């Protein structure tokens, strides 16, 4: 019983850390329309052109449209409206609403539309490159990988992160191998870890495990999250191939002075069938309380 209670407490802490570190969005206000599928498009499209709707409402509508695009594909009308809306936002910078519009465009996976962004990957304008990276990343567009690899390796600081992120979203062998190569370079390590943290790629687990002792908490947090993502997505295959090599790095990470890293490590060990160390867990809870008090002061 104690183990179940402890696991529940750790899960609650992880959820809180996930929302803090990975900016998990609140529930979409259009969530209850999504089960209607394409029948929900009129309501969502109306929100984009409604004088009463503010940017937060339009952002939620665009995200909901993108999710419907992924599940059902776009209609010609819905895609046209999103394209027009995205053009209106082109001078607003990378706001949440513009990012949501790029998500919807990429999620359409409309051949002509997505291929139209490929030449922008070779633009001399960082904003145009970043827009294209996000669209092809959300589209998981394999034919963009060659250009993205070049940007991730040779691009500027302004474009490298978006290119690496897109490679992580596409996640094919070439994309992942490139990100693993970038882990060996301090200059590109953080953006590579960020890209791999959500990829859930089994091949990345060992390289990421070697970064669990890195000086940067951002690197350690991305590494443990990437390992956990892979464990969640491929647990049976990982256990079948032998996960013993991973236990020791995760046990060390479970004693990390940064409690978010420690909590993610302990829960990942639990996913792999390892018993939660009660003494370590309660030390982390105590450490978290101290960190919260320090932050408040």
* pLDDT tens per residue, range 199-245: 888 999 999 999 999 999 999 999 999 999 999 999 999 999 998 99
Nearest in space to 117 (alpha carbons), one of 104, 127, 131, 107: 131
**Residue-level pLDDT at 216:** 94
The matching CATH number, chosen from 1.20.120, 1.10.3470, 3.30.420, 1.25.10, for 204-297 is: 1.25.10
**pLDDT for the residue 257:** 86
Range 251-255 average pLDDT: 91
Task: Round to the nearest angstrom and report the end-to-end CA distance of the chain.
Answer: 36
Residue-range domain boundaries for the chain: 204-297
Q: Which long-range contacts (CB under 8 A, 24 or more apart) does 204-210 make?
A: 204/176, 204/179, 204/180, 204/230, 205/230, 205/231, 205/238, 205/246, 206/245, 207/180, 207/183, 208/183, 209/246, 209/249, 209/250, 210/249
DSSP state of 7: H
CA separation for the pair 196, 29 (Å, rounded): 29
Residue 171 burial (CB < 10 Å; 0-12/13-18/19+)? Answer: buried
Give CA–CA dist 201/40, Å, rounded: 34
- In this prediction, residue 91 has a pLDDT band, given cuts at 50, 70 and 90, of confident
Give 14's pLDDT tier (boundaries 50, 70, 90): low
Predicted TM-score of the model (pTM): 0.84
């Amino acid at each position: 019983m104690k183990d179940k209670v402890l696991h529940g407490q750790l899960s609650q802490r992880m959820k809180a850390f996930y929302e803090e570190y990975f900016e998990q969005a609140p529930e979409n206000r259009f969530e209850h329309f999504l089960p209607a599928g394409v029948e929900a498009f009129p309501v969502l499209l109306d929100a984009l052109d409604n004088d009463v709707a503010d940017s937060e409402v339009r952002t939620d509508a665009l995200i909901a449209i993108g999710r419907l695009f992924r599940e059902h594909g776009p209609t010609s009308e819905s895609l046209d409206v999103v394209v027009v809306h995205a053009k209106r936002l082109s001078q607003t910078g990378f706001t949440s609403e513009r990012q949501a519009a790029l998500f919807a465009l990429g999620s359409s996976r409309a051949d002509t539309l997505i291929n139209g962004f490929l030449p922008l990957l070779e633009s001399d304008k960082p904003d145009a490159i970043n827009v294209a990276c996000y669209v092809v990343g959300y589209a998981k567009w394999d034919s963009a990988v060659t250009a993205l690899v070049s940007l991730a390796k040779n691009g500027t600081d302004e474009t490298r992160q978006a290119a690496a992120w897109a490679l992580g979203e596409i996640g094919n062998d070439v994309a992942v191998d490139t990100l693993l190569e970038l882990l060996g370079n301090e200059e590109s390590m953080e953006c590579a870890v960020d890209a791999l943290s959500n990829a859930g790629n089994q091949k990345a687990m060992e390289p990421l495990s070697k970064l669990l002792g890195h000086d940067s908490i951002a690197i350690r947090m991305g590494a443990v999250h990437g390992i956990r993502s892979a464990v969640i997505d491929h647990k049976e295959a990982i256990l079948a191939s032998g996960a013993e090599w991973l236990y020791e790095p995760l046990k060390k990470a479970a004693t990390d002075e940064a409690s978010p890293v420690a909590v993610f490590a302990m829960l990942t060990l639990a996913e792999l069938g390892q018993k939660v160390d009660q003494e370590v867990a309660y030390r982390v809870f105590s450490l978290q309380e101290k960190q919260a008090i320090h932050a408040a002061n």
